[in-house]
Structure 1
Amino acid sequence: MTPYDLSPLFLSLKVAGISTICVFIVSIALARLMVRKEFLGKSIVDAFILLPLVLPPTVIGFALIVLFGVNGPLGILLENLFGFRVVFTWIGAAIASFVVSLPLMYQSVLAAFEKVDPRWENVGRTMGVSEWRIFRTVTFPLAWPGILAGVILAFARAIGEFGATLMIAGYIPGVTETIPLAIYFAYEAGQMDKAIFWVVIISALGVAAIGWVNYWRRKNAIRIGRE
């Protein structure tokens, strides 16, 4: 039995899991649009999606507070419609994780879709197959290796988010205390054993995620080579 409260682990998994599911859905929709459609301002949209990769976490956190804060447009809308606030809740942490991990997932999915030969999709179109069925049975399976790698990277990034999470969700033990926040405040309090414990846990999660991706890629490459 560990002497430490494991709620940061469970909360981190919850936040990262929910944000990864949302990132998965949004990135597939965005990447599909960017690969198959040409429209005015496409490069600007692409740059905006990738912007969190180069912005400091404090800037992302500030933008989220402006949008989802008590006086922010989205914050007011959510409170009036659903009666809850984003700031200082685990939902705020999930939103922060979503924003910082979306570019990683988007890049992986975009690259995966770009590698799919359009001729395979055109075969389905000549047979009168719907676009949704072509995507579900042709495009998505062919792009799956890149999509899966993006999912793992997005999850690892989400579980390690700190700066933006601290700004919008704050530090409330048992409510918004994710593993990165637990590490920082344990260190600030001089609780080095506790900080080291959580560093080991989050490092193990990261190594496991990256190791699994590498293993799956090697396994997939061997299978393709045999075929």
Structure 2
Amino acid sequence: MLSAILYAIPFLGAGLAVTLLVSLLTVSLSLVIGGLMGVALVYGPAPLRWVIRGFSDVVRGIPILVLIFFVYYGLPVAGLNLQPFSAAVLALTVFKCAQVIENVRGAIGSIPRGQMDAGKAIGLTFPARLVYVIAPQAVRRFLPPWINGVTDAVKGSALVSLLGVTDLMHSIQQVIGRTYEALPLYVLGAVFYFVINYTLSMLSRRLELRYSYIRD
């Protein structure tokens, strides 16, 4: 057992790096794209809001595994062929975008409407009100649930192994095929995932406690 673990560590380390890269790209892209879409959902014109609302509702209702398979196997039918890594990041980003949209909508929606009216009363333009009045308050409400959602992205990244991406989970399966030591290797993989997600959960709790006075 110990020899299998020692043998697996270099492979699992490389797989962990891929898992972290997939998670980082997913979180970064979804934060930018989903954040802009979330703001448009609240303040955009009605047709744009309907499109974004439809996108969010549909994507959140689709299992992430189905979305991954759709991107990898379905898009080539439309002429868009993606490598497994790119398909995995795209699918996870789309899924995460829908969550970010709802996080942004909820954060902005929790701010009293009078805040925007007060900014308008003192002569601030709409972009200035959004940046200097709404954003500082919304970010504090947005961070805790968003970080909780980041843990979902890390856990969801394990599914990219089904496309042959050599992430942590795929590396574990490869080593098991060579050593036939399934239990200790799966336990070791679980420890890796637990450490990452527990760290993120603790960060979320600290942020929630730090900014809890805002909701009082």
Q: Unaligned 5+ residue runs, structure 2?
A: none
Preserved contact between residue 116 and residue 139 of structure 1 (Cα < 8 Å): yes
Out of 173, 185, 202, the position equivalent to 1:211 is 202
Per-residue deviation, 1:185: 5.3
Given the two structures, how large is their TM-score scaled by the length of structure 1?
A: 0.76
Residue 78 of structure 1 aligns with which residue?
A: none
Q: Measure how far apart 1:61 and its partner are.
A: 2.1
Q: Which runs of 5+ in 1 are unaligned?
A: 76-85
Matched, 1:191 2:181: yes
Q: How many aligned residue pairs are there?
A: 207
CA contact (8 A) 1:52 1:100 kept: yes
For normalisation by structure 2, the TM-score amounts to 0.79
38 and 132 in structure 1: CA distance in 2 versus 1, 3 angstrom threshold: closer
Moved more, 93-102 or 135-144: 93-102
Stretches (4+) displaced over 3 A: 40-45, 66-69, 71-75, 180-191, 222-225
User: Does structure 1 conserve the Cα–Cα contact (< 8 Å) formed by 2:103 and 2:145?
Assistant: yes
Shift of 1:54: 2.8
Provide closer, same or farther for how the CA distance between residues 180 and 41 of structure 1 changes in structure 2, counting only shifts above 3 A. same
Q: Does residue 145 of structure 1 match 2:146?
A: no
Equivalent residue, structure 2, for 1:56 = 63
* CA deviation map 1:17-61 (0-9, x unaligned): 121111111122111111224524845642422333332334212
Q: Deviations over 1:193-219 (max 9, x none)?
A: 222111111012112212221122112
Aligned to 1:32: 39
83, 88, 92: which is aligned to 1:87?
83
Which of the two has greater helix per residue? 2
- TM-superposed deviation, 1:135: 1.6
Q: Deviations over 1:63-122 (max 9, x none)?
A: 2125653x54444xxxxxxxxxx322x333222221222222222211101112232222
Change (3 A) 1:163 1:54: farther
Cα 1:184/1:151, change in 2 over 3 Å: farther
